[in-house]
Amino acid sequence: MDELVKLILSARRGSEYSFALLCDKYKMLIISLSKKYSNMCADEQVELEDFLQESKIAFDKAISTYDINSETTFGAYAKVCIRNGLVSFLRKCKSKKSRKEEFKEEGFCDETALDNIAKQELKQQLLQHAEGLLSPLEKRIFMMICEEMSIKEISESINKSIRSVNNAIYRARRKLKKEFKEKIT
């Protein structure tokens, strides 16, 4: 069994170390696709960081669903999974913008009020679920994200590297997403 397959199987079993090694091995693929799709969304007020997170989520799905007996290389499979994930994310971003514009045009409420209502509801739901799921660091960073602090501000505030903050955000999102999936099914 080659090294890549061992890493994939280990990451599937939940090894953060193996996942980090795979991310590092395919870092350029993740970054280049994230940049490409974030450039398509320049006017949507969505940052490159959001695309990088979506890329990592899609990469995680690629690890989980890759057939190790396939003739397709993992790199090619991961590229398709990441691209599909980013296309979906791009569509969501554009869809949210068009829905906000519809509400605004029809006079239901202004964009700021709509955003604030949605953010508060989502924030309350996520905080309830975060309580028992997240580590103290993840929870602290999650609270700062909810307060709309930037990654750089959080990094400086808690005296951790930007990479550590991004990793904690990724782990928190992964845990919360898993929790929501289990609640829905």
For 90-151, the three-class secondary structure string (H helix, E strand, C coil) is HHHHHHHHHHHHHHHHCCCCCHHHHHHHHHHHHHHHHHHHHHHHCCHHHHHHHHHHHCCCCH
Q: Domains in the chain and their CATH numbers? A: 1-105 (1.10.1740.10), 109-185 (1.10.10)
Q: Report pLDDT for 39.
A: 81
- The torsion angles phi and psi of 21, rounded to 5 degrees, stand at -65, -40
The larger pLDDT score, comparing residue 60 to residue 134, is at 60
> Among all chains, which residue has been given the structure tokens 């928190």?
172
The larger pLDDT score, comparing residue 166 to residue 113, is at 166
The highest-confidence range among 88-97, 106-115, 145-154, by mean pLDDT, is 145-154
**Average pLDDT of the chain?**
80
Q: Report pLDDT for 123.
A: 67
Share of the chain above pLDDT 90, in %: 24
pLDDT-derived band at 106 (thresholds 50, 70, 90) equals very low
Task: Mention every residue, 6+ apart, whose C-beta is less than 8 A from residue 35.
Answer: 48, 51
Distance CA 178, CA 87 (A): 21
**pLDDT for 46-97, tens place per residue?**
788 888 899 999 999 999 999 988 888 999 999 999 999 988 888 887 776 5
Half-sphere exposure of 54 (CA within 13 A, CB side): 24
The pTM for the full model equals: 0.53
